[in-house]
Amino acid sequence: MIPQPLMSEERRVLIVDDDRDFCESLCDLLALRDYGVVFALNASDAERMIRQLPCDVVLIDQRLGSESNGVDLIPVLQSNQPGIVTIMVTAYASINTAIGALKEGAYDYLRKPLHPDDLFATLSRAFEKIALQREKEAAEAELAQRNRQLTGTNAELKAEIAKRRQLEQELRSLNAELDQRVQHRTIELRNANKELEAFTYSVAHDLRAPLRTIDSFSKILLTDYAEQLDDSGRHFLDRTRIAAIHMANIISDLHKLSRISLQHIHGETVDLSSLAKDVVEALVATGTATPEVTIHENLRTHGDRGLIRVALENLFSNARKYTSGNDTARIELGCQKQAGQRTFFVRDNGVGFDMRYAAKLFEPFERLHSDAEFEGTGIGLAIVDRIVQKHGGKVWAEGEIDAGAVFYFTLPEAP
């Protein structure tokens, strides 16, 4: 076999014929159409060449000398390169020859002498078949790849489903356990509340009785034995009565605070403006100083009317107390937007407070002024805080010494 040029990578043709002149002429003809062509002069060279230089189409002469038959070479070449397209070329064509070639796997056959039009038409069909076969193989490979991916995905999905089912079962178990814990804690809390309520009532009742006795006997001493007491004795008895009354007020406020913590909310639409006017009217009737009070109209909320009234009573009482030394005392109830939230406020021009201690205002018994300056138990604002929290709101304060204070609070919107 003589050395031959490298073939085109796209259309590769092998000619197998024992006639060298025919092979070289056919190579020149096919080269004009940009086919990559090589040739072999016998079956052995063709078999060796097909292993070294893969081809797409093979043109095989029916008779390869006296010892070889082109038809017998077809399965040999196809076994070395599956998918190769073979075309039988013969000058002795007959029906039996064509059938034999096709049975052995030939794609088509041509008769010598070759006519260029027939040759190129047959090659064109052969390469179309190859292109379709390659597209099919590529599609099958892609399908196989996708099937493998799908199989992997299905396996992952099954694992994920199994994992989720396990998590759902664990979640159901945890929810069941949580329900049991909640029920148990609810029963414990209910019992604790009953015990606390009973304890609070008992403490309030048991402490008030001796305080009333102390106050009563002190008053008797001051009235019936006044002549037998000197100024110091009367002063001590007055201090005793004041302390007993103060202690009774603390017990009363503590009882109120505990009852608020235990009380259930009965929600309804509340006219805050109207309720505040009633509160202010009652406070003014019990005091000597009458501050200037401004109440904005159409203030409405949703909550427990009784509890909200208690909160307003404490806020207005607090404002009136700390404006009592101001000849032009002013108190205002209004509403404004803060951070996009509707916020109520009670503003006064009283003594104010130091903002460093603002957090202590709503703690029980925390007072920023002494009893000598302003009387009180330190419970009122704690009651306000509890009531507002029970309604899902919050309360806070801003102030400045000798420049007044503002108490802000939020409550649910009226429907």
Residue 370's pLDDT band, with cuts at 50, 70 and 90, is low
288 and 405 in one domain?
yes
pTM attached to this predicted model:
0.48
Beta-carbon contacts of 152 under 8 Å, excluding residues fewer than 6 positions away, are none
Provide the 8-state DSSP code for 342.
Answer: E
Tell me the pairing of strands 300-303 and 330-338: unpaired
Residue 131 lies inside a defined structural domain of this protein: no
Question: Are 301 and 354 members of one domain?
Answer: yes
pLDDT per residue as tens digits for the range 230-288: 878 777 777 787 777 766 666 665 666 666 666 677 888 999 999 999 888 888 777 65
Is 126 a domain residue? no
Question: Where would I find the beta strands (DSSP E) of 91-241?
Answer: 108-111
Q: Are residues 348 and 229 in the same domain?
A: no
Average pLDDT (118-132) is 88
> Does residue 120 belong to any structural domain of this protein?
no
Tell whether 209 and 274 lie within a shared domain: no
Distance separating the N- and C-terminal Cα atoms of the chain: 101
| CB-CB contact of 382 with 363 (8 Å) | yes
Same domain for 251 and 285, yes or no, is no
Q: For the chain, give the mean pLDDT.
A: 81
pLDDT at 204 over 60: no
pLDDT in tens, 315-357: 998 888 888 878 888 999 999 988 888 999 999 998 888 888 8
193 and 96 in one domain?
Answer: no
Same domain, yes or no: 345 and 398: yes
Residue 213, in any domain of the structure: yes
Residue after which a domain boundary falls, among 204, 234, 262: 262
CA distances from 181 to 11, 123, 169, 196, 340 (A): 80, 84, 18, 22, 38
Please indicate, yes or no, whether residues 323 and 399 belong to a single structural domain of this protein. yes
Span 38-58, average pLDDT: 88
* Tally of domains within the chain: 3
Residues 251 and 207 sit within 8 Å (Cβ to Cβ): yes
Helices 116-224 & 20-31 angle (0-180, nearest 10): 50
Burial-class residue 335 by CB neighbours within 10 Å (0-12, 13-18, 19+). middle
Report how far apart, in Å, the C-alpha atoms of 83 and of each of 55, 86, 105, 241 are: 10, 9, 10, 118
Q: Is residue 330 part of a domain?
A: yes
52 and 160 fall within a common domain: no
Asked if 300 and 393 sit in the same domain, the reply is yes
On whether residue 368 sits in a domain, the answer given is: yes
How much of the chain, in percent, has pLDDT values that exceed 70? 81
Q: Is 370 exposed, middle or buried (0-12, 13-18, 19+ CB in 10 A)?
A: exposed
Positive or negative: CA dihedral 137, 141, 142, 147: positive
Same domain, 73 and 175: no
367 pLDDT more than 60 = yes
Check which CATH number belongs to the domain holding 322 and give it: 3.30.565.10
- Residue 142 inside a domain? The answer is no
pLDDT of residue 300: 92
Verify that 95 and 164 share a domain, yes or no. Answer: no
Which residue range forms the structural domain that includes residue 361? 266-409
Write the CATH number for 101.
3.40.50.2300
- In a domain, residue 73? The reply is yes
Domain boundary among 53, 84, 114: 114
> Residue 366, class by beta-carbon neighbours within 10 Å (0-12 exposed, 13-18 middle, 19+ buried)?
middle
Domain end marker among 262, 282, 305:
262
Tokens 């019990």 identify what position? 286
